[in-house]
Amino acid sequence: MYPHETSASLGFGRSNGRATWGGQPLGDLLARAGVPTPAYFYDLAAIRARVVDLDRAFGSARHLIAYAVKANSAGSIVRTVQEAGAGIDAVSGGELLLARRSDVAPRKILLSGVAKRDDEIDLALSEDILAIQVESVVELSRVAARASAVGKRARVSMRINPDVEIDSHAHIATGHDAAKFGVARRDWAGAFAELQAHASRLQLVGISTHVGSMLRKPDAYLSSADVVCDVALDVLSLGHALEYVDFGGGFGIDYGDAPAAPPREFARAALGMLQTRGLADLMLVVEPGRSIVGPFGALVSRVVQHKTSGTRSWVMLDAGMNDLLRPALYGARHRIEPLDNPPGTAEHQIVGPVCESADDFGTFALGDVPQYVVFRDAGAYSFSMASEYNARPLPAEVFVDGGEIVRVNPSPGVESWLERRLRS
């Protein structure tokens, strides 16, 4: 039993048939927030509890939870994870700046990404972050050149590609040999030669990996971690003063289809491996994104109309694929339920207003057509992947903490879109 996943006062629940959020009726929170739908709701208390729970799993071992901020970059969320002791895994200069301006200490920030621009490398150098996670041999020489240009020695980590296949959607599997990510095994010798050649400009502080997303149990995570340990041991024997190993993120969540081990189980397994391999002196870094925020976000949408044709029934929403892209892009299924009634038996095809056939969220048993619906588990890769396609402004965001609304970020509105398009 995982208390944070089941507590009625954290994230989504139901009481007297009504959906609740942080223990409060979500419909009441929507009215109190005073924003039009579609609107995202987040539970900061639940996110905080998730980070604390993961943190505790490391016990007294040196570790860093580098939250993969691409999953959700809302300032309130970044500040919440920062206050709970986490750092940030950034994949762009923008995310790095967000972390710094949210008071994340430089040595708790990593910069990952396959094609960092020179200005992003320069920013990482000037902020003196924990490491630039280098993903190719050519990138090593580019970082060395930038370090030389600014008169510094760059702290780098080598992201290896362990060639591990995972059972996940093709778009989110990254650790196989044909992926663009990381340094493939055949290039490791070349990478070490490059590090040696630029030793005055490159300081190897970490070995890292990330094999993909939505791992439901730690086994694939451990297979790739094992390869990271092999490389770390080699590197130590070559005399590099390694500071950390980073096993990446990818802890899955339960979207209502199958259970997933909670983050702390991944942490314990990772720690066990580090100890078994005799590497317990190194800091252990993990990069979870989805598992920190995914279950603790919801998207509330209004039913615009109900179209029937023959035996078909479409429930048409004011939220579309521009607000929540995952179903269209990955065939992902986010549970959709009525806001103020329990789900019923009558099934409806739930679609958005965007002029694309892919703007379809799937068939759900809503029962009688409700006025509002709630999409569950929409805290990760949801708002952060939203767009303004079809002149649809970005949705509002409402932050709840301990059942109270603590911040509202209204939609920029259509006027903002119009102003920017008219000036283009």
Rounded to the nearest whole angstrom, what is the least distance from the CB of residue 71 to ligand LLP in the complex? Answer: 5
| Residue with tokens 């609107």, as numbered in its chain | 39
The sheet that has 24-25: what strands, in order across it? 12-15, 18-21, 24-25
Nearer to ligand LLP, 112 or 301 (CB): 112
Rounded to the nearest whole angstrom, what is the least distance from the CB of residue 382 to ligand LLP in the complex? Answer: 8
Nearer to ligand LLP, 203 or 208 (CB): 208
Rounded to the nearest whole angstrom, what is the least distance from the CB of residue 220 to ligand LLP in the complex? Answer: 12
Close Cβ partners of 135 (under 8 Å, ≥ 6 residues apart) = 112, 113, 114, 159, 181, 182, 183
Please report, as ranges, the residues that interact with ligand LLP according to CB under 6 A: 68, 71, 89, 112, 172, 210, 213, 248-251, 287-291, 326, 330, 381
CA-based nearest residue to 83, from 122, 125, 55, 123? 55
Nearer to ligand LLP, 33 or 69 (CB): 69
Report the 10 Å Cβ neighbour count for 255. Answer: 18
Rounded to the nearest whole angstrom, what is the least distance from the CB of residue 365 to ligand LLP in the complex? Answer: 24
| Residue 272 one-letter amino acid | G
Close Cβ partners of 131 (under 8 Å, ≥ 6 residues apart) = 110, 111, 155, 156, 157, 205, 206, 244
Rounded to the nearest whole angstrom, what is the least distance from the CB of residue 15 to ligand LLP in the complex? Answer: 29
Nearer to ligand LLP, 68 or 235 (CB): 68
| CA–CA distance, 36 with 411 (Å, rounded to integer) | 8
Half-sphere exposure of 351 (CA within 13 A, CB side): 17
| Cis before 38? omega within 30 | yes
355 catalytic, yes or no?
yes
Nearer to ligand LLP, 102 or 157 (CB): 157
Catalytic annotation, pick one of 355, 357, 422, 423:
355
- Catalytic residue numbers read 355
